[in-house]
Structure 1
Amino acid sequence: MDLAIIGFGTAGEARLFAYALIENARVTCVVDPSPDRRERAALLGLTAYADLPAMLAATPVDAIDICSPPAYHAELVTAGLTAGCHVICEKPVAFEGAKAAELVACSRRTGRLLYPAHNYTFSPMMRMFTEAIADDTVGRPMTASFEIRRRTHARGVPSWMPDWRRDPSVACGGILLDHGTHCVYMATRLFGALPTKVSCTTSLNDEGLDHAAKLQLSFPEGSCSIVLSWVSDERSNLYELNGPTGSVSIRDGRALVEGPRGRQVRELTSPTGSGTHEEWFADMFADFAGLVERPREWSRPLDETLATARIIDAAYRSAAQNGTAVAIDG
């Protein structure tokens, strides 16, 4: 499969190196508005274009992988699908439910797959949670809790808006949209349902973007609490899942499992230590490539794209109402 990477910043370059390890994937070109990033791509042996229309006109590809900031996702997704390309899009694919519905409809209309780059689905952590549910270590999830704490936001490449996450016109949201998107799709997968309602409060920075957030997702048979911060005095991750038969708690790569088979401690430390988690990408791409050949199964990624956007959308509406719960229709 021939691919183009759209947005050759931190995520885009990490994706390039991940693709190099995948036998049936070949990156032929990149698109980036920064001359420095295009020069970097050329040094790595890639053809580089300043914009997507120029690339599509000159270099046919099977798929495009969108690694640009959120403000550009909808336009790039629509252009790629309309040009006949399958599309992988970095999270969040969309941050408004209505826009997500438009993009899903475009995928169905063009017969090209829109696939959200929900890479945490393929993390050792999510695999452990999924196994603990399936083998009755935990059983049916009753409660989950995710806490993501950072001292500040992640920075982009120096040659193109290194602090774009602090620009509302580019980021379109703060930590709720960034880290929160991962937490939302993880929760819906674990509980196997949409939440019935969402409540959220946020703290805003000087640019008016949320740099801390607290969410409560109420599911038909359980609940998930999410705490997010870019203004913490530490960098830490805590993911917990509880069910009728046991629990799993993962703090900074160290997992404590308690269930019918006793107590276990396991290490889940990332082999690369990279925030882009490129070691999870091969499995994600294999899922994407397999789905391309099975259109009848496209409802899974399309539904998840829509559901995630609707939940994040509802969370922001709840925050605007000082945490009043907002219902999610089925």
Structure 2
Amino acid sequence: MKRGALIGYGFIGEQGHARGYTQSNDLGIDAVVDTHPARREKAAQALPGVAIFDSAESFFESELSKRLAFVDICTPPATHAPLARAALQRGLHVLCEKPITTRAADADELVALARKSGRVFYPSHNYTHAPVLKRVQGLLDEGALGDIHMATLSTFRSTHARGVPEWRPDWRREPEISGGGILMDHGSHTFYVAFAWMGAYPTKVSARMLRSAHAPGGSATDDDVACELTFPSGIVRCHLTWRAGNRKVIYTIHGSGGGLRVEDDKLELSLRFGTPGSYRWETREESVASHWMSASHEAWFTSVFGDFARAMRERDLVPETARDAIACMRVIEACYRSASEEGRAIAVDCSA
């Protein structure tokens, strides 16, 4: 079992990652880093025997850091690039929460550094590990829907995800910390899922967004985003909002052989048979427990950790999830640019 350090003991670090490690057969945590005294105290209580550090610098300078294999970065987005850079330079593998950076140029730099240092850079793209989306990917891999030409992905949230009360609980509304609003917070989840379903990266994007005047402090971040991604084989439309009346994900996929709809844990599959003019349809419904209502998605992390362990074991330094993460950042940047230009279509190159 490879051992590592958890950097950042906020909501997702505590409720998602730390709990996931207690259930993992592949990875374990020997150190926790957090700058806030109350969070360090909580970590010490929850994880007895784990070394506690008050800064990343003190951890990186410690003898313990030299004996560990990886770091797991669960801090706000603006800190991801410097922390990942420091870890890779010291010979540590990196697991990093999304978005991996707040700029595509920083993501490119980290991937180049991972290759140079011979260490894995692995983004935590946990939506692909949700059981219902694993089921969807299995159906696509089997060719159940034929050639995919359209998809829609809607993520409804009634507000931004609040952080822990001890430290800036509304940091997602502070662009200098978060990098942006819901597009930066949830865009990666939406886009890497879309890449997998379409089997490619988009070549063009357009977007529009709104900012709420009723957000805490008068939000300077985007609350409501609608965007369209053009792929070589079709179109994907996405809607992300922090202003919904409920919490829900609704996805649809459409192909030459049928379509499907995901609403949280429910999956409706419609298969088409016959020829034009005499089509017949077979529809069935499934329920795949995925616990979408849990904001921490703790049940998904053992699968994430298993694939990260595989990447370290096989020296898969820049796995597909890392390439997807770079593409996500390029699409996010293009969406912000498009929205600033009244929704003008922006060409995007995700191939590099």
TM-score between the two structures when normalised by the length of structure 1 = 0.96
Q: Does 1:47 align with 2:51?
A: yes
Between the aligned residues of both structures, percent identity stands at: 36
Counterpart of 1:293 in 2: which secondary structure?
A: helix
Range with bigger deviation, 218-227 or 259-268: 259-268
Q: Which residue of 1 aligns with 2:260?
A: 248
Counterpart of 2:31 in 1: which secondary structure?
A: strand
Q: Is the 8 A contact 1:168 1:207 kept in 2?
A: no
Q: Which residue of 2 aligns with 1:95?
A: 102
Q: Is the 8 A contact 2:93 2:119 kept in 1?
A: yes
Q: Which residue of 2 aligns with 1:287?
A: 307
What pairs with 1:182-221 in structure 2 (closer than 5 Å)?
182-205=189-212, 206-221=218-233
Q: Cα deviation per residue 1:113-166 (whole Å; 9 max; x = unaligned)? A: 110000011112321221221223212211110111111011000001111111
Q: Does 1:56 align with 2:57?
A: no
Aligned length: 330
Counterpart of 1:210 in 2: which secondary structure?
A: coil
Would the alpha carbon gap of residues 166 and 111 (structure 1) be closer, same or farther in structure 2, given more than 3 Å must change?
Answer: same
Counterpart of 1:142 in 2: which secondary structure?
A: strand
User: Could you list the runs of 5+ residues in structure 2 that have no partner in the other structure?
Assistant: 213-217, 273-280
Deviation at 1:47, TM superposition (A): 1.9
**Aligned-partner Cα distance in 1 for 2:128–2:290:** 15
Q: Does 1:262 align with 2:282?
A: yes
- Aligned amino acid, residue 47 of structure 1: A
Q: Does 1:174 align with 2:175?
A: no
Q: Cα deviation per residue 1:237-277 (whole Å; 9 max; x = unaligned)? A: 10111100011101132111111582111112335842111
What pairs with 1:230-241 in structure 2 (closer than 5 Å)?
230-241=242-253
**Aligned-partner Cα distance in 2 for 1:223–1:123:** 24
**Aligned-partner Cα distance in 1 for 2:93–2:331:** 25
Counterpart of 1:239 in 2: which secondary structure?
A: strand
**Aligned-partner Cα distance in 2 for 1:271–1:187:** 21
Q: Does 1:9 align with 2:10?
A: yes
**Aligned-partner Cα distance in 2 for 1:296–1:146:** 30
Deviation at 1:228, TM superposition (A): 0.9
Q: Is the 8 A contact 1:63 1:86 kept in 2?
A: yes
From 104, 107, 110, give the equivalent of 2:114: 107
Q: Is the 8 A contact 2:120 2:317 kept in 1?
A: no
Deviation at 1:76, TM superposition (A): 0.6
**Aligned-partner Cα distance in 1 for 2:322–2:293:** 30
What root-mean-square deviation, in Å, do the aligned CA atoms of Structure 1 and Structure 2 show? Answer: 1.5
Deviation at 1:50, TM superposition (A): 1.2
**Aligned-partner Cα distance in 1 for 2:143–2:203:** 25
Runs of 4+ in structure 1 displaced over 4 angstroms?
none
**Aligned-partner Cα distance in 1 for 2:234–2:136:** 15
User: Could you list the runs of 5+ residues in structure 1 that have no partner in the other structure?
Assistant: none
From 31, 37, 40, give the equivalent of 1:38: 40
TM-score between the two structures when normalised by the length of structure 2 = 0.90
Range with bigger deviation, 150-159 or 226-235: 226-235
Compare CA radii of gyration and give the structure with the larger one: 2
Q: Cα deviation per residue 1:62-101 (whole Å; 9 max; x = unaligned)? A: 1000011101000111011111110000000023221111
Q: Which residue of 1 aligns with 2:278?
A: none
Q: Is the 8 A contact 2:187 2:328 kept in 1?
A: no
**Aligned-partner Cα distance in 2 for 1:252–1:284:** 19
